Amino acid sequence: MSIKDNYKAIQDQLPAGVQLVAVSKTHPVSAIQEVYDLGQRVFGENKVQELMEKSPLLPDDIQWHLIGHLQTNKVKYIASFIDTIQSVDSEKLLTEINKESGKNNRIIKVLLQVKIAAEESKFGLEIPEAKELFQHYTDGKFPNIEITGLMGMATFTDDEQQVKQEFLTLKALFDELNQLKTLNTLSMGMSDDFPVAIECGANSVRVGSAIFGRRDYSK
Ligand SMILES: *Cc1c(COP(=O)(O)O)cnc(C)c1O
């Protein structure tokens, strides 16, 4: 299937009100432009360097989301243009984003990345840490950012029950925090598990390979 067919097929599976973040990491600017020309405006990248190389070559009205682990010392490189940082996993990082956001006279949107997977390797805040950080935010500690929601990745497994459990755990936290201050984005689900994520309450999905094809890391 072509990128165009893939994109249309994904769109057909998304209920109204579910945002699609097209994950373009490792794929060339030409492929991103192709999806842009089909109407997509929200794209996700996971590396600062790659984002900085590609973004100047593409239209200005793309809303870039950073979805990969972000080092504190790299926030300054993206603070002037990033729309949303989905991968906030420490208070130190949030403090830095708040600072750089202020310097740029912007309000950067962020999602707290919460660790819901059983795997040791996945980044993210533990649930109590996420609650504490959100509390500091509602107390007014980070005036230059807006926490718009939560992001999580399920375990990479065929066990759909487990995946569902993990997504529902994040949905429950989302509902709890949403009572303290309104949130609008629950980002869960990738190419292989986005239908389950939507069933569990996701209203934003991050889809890469199902649109752009498999990633080739050898290049
Ligand atoms: C790469 C990536 C995705 C997209 O993965 P696909 O399986 O290609 O859809 C989604 N979220 C994050 C955090 C990623 O790093």
**Distance from C-alpha of 9 to C-alpha of 37, rounded to nearest angstrom:** 16
Question: What does CATH list as the number for 3-212?
Answer: 3.20.20.10
In this prediction, residue 118 carries a pLDDT of: 87
Question: How far does residue 57's CA lie from ligand 1's centre (Å)?
Answer: 22
Q: Quick one: 72 exposed, middle or buried, by C-beta within 10 A (0-12, 13-18, 19+)?
A: middle
Closest by CA to 203, choosing from 176, 165, 175, 179, is 175
* CB-based contacts of 56-59 (< 8 A; 24+ apart in sequence): 57/29, 58/29, 58/32, 58/33
In this prediction, residue 123 carries a pLDDT of: 84
**Distance from C-alpha of 173 to C-alpha of 171, rounded to nearest angstrom:** 5
In this prediction, residue 119 carries a pLDDT of: 81
**Token pair belonging to 99:** 């600072």
Q: What is the pTM (predicted TM-score) of this model?
A: 0.97
Contact 167, 124 (CB under 8 A): no
Does residue 67's CB lie within 6 angstroms of at least one atom of ligand 1?
yes
Atom of ligand 1 nearest to the CA of 192: 7
Does residue 190's CB lie within 6 angstroms of at least one atom of ligand 1?
yes
Q: At what angle do helices 160-180 and 127-138 cross, to 10 degrees?
A: 20
Does residue 117's CB lie within 6 angstroms of at least one atom of ligand 1?
no
In this prediction, residue 216 carries a pLDDT of: 77
In this prediction, residue 58 carries a pLDDT of: 98
In this prediction, residue 219 carries a pLDDT of: 57
Per-residue pLDDT of the chain (219 residues; tens, 9 = 90+): 899 999 999 999 999 999 999 999 999 999 999 999 999 999 999 999 999 999 999 999 999 999 999 999 999 999 999 999 999 999 999 999 999 999 999 999 999 999 999 887 668 999 999 999 999 999 999 999 999 999 999 999 999 999 999 999 999 999 999 999 999 999 999 999 999 999 999 999 999 999 999 887 765
In this prediction, residue 217 carries a pLDDT of: 74
Residue located nearest, by CA, to atom 6 of ligand 1:
208
Enumerate the domain spans of the chain: 3-212
Q: How distant, in Å, are the alpha carbons of 121, 148, 180 from that of 145? A: 28, 9, 17
